Amino acid sequence: MLFFPVWYQSHFFLVVGYPKGEKWHFYNSLDSDVYWKYTRHFVLFITGVFSQLGWDNPAGLPIIPYECPKQDNTDDCELFVMAYAKHLLLGRPMQFTQSDMWFYRQKIIHDIFYKQWENSGFLECTTDD
């Protein structure tokens, strides 16, 4: 699987390439055809790069709009994209809703804070045995 979070017209959506499965999946948290149409342009744009890496004719592969959870507002598209990618990577069904986005926000904050402390050396544990 190749994950491509795409930002277009102030909205994030996810395009996932399956080179061995010879297809693309399109995940969008809004019900809008604008982003679906742009996906074909995106695939055409990256075709040159992937042709050089041995993936034959990615632009000729079908793009399948995948049924996925939708957002209820206009602010959480990036959280939905991260949730889609995580669920796909872990092989989990996409059974989350708008109300679960608070969890994703908290998790991101925790991860950023913890990594900053971890990388700063303040969390080193020493034992005096």
CA 51 from chain centre, in angstroms, equals 22
Tokens of residue 1, six digits: 């699987």
Average pLDDT over the chain reads 86
Q: Across residues 5-29, what is the average pLDDT?
A: 92
pLDDT in the model for residue 19: 83
At 68 the pLDDT is 94
Give the domain ranges of the chain.
Answer: 2-96
d(CA 20, CA 88): 16
Confidence check: pLDDT of 124 > 70: no
CA geometry: angle at 27 spanning 11 and 4, to 5°?
A: 75
Give the CA count within 13 Å in the CB-facing half-sphere of 20: 1
| Per-residue pLDDT tens digits for 34-64 | 787 888 888 888 887 777 777 777 888 889 9
Question: Which residues have CB under 8 Å from 7's CB, separation 6+?
Answer: none
Q: Please tell us whether the domain made up of 2-96 is placed in CATH 3.40.50.2300.
A: no
- Location of structure tokens 């602010």: 75
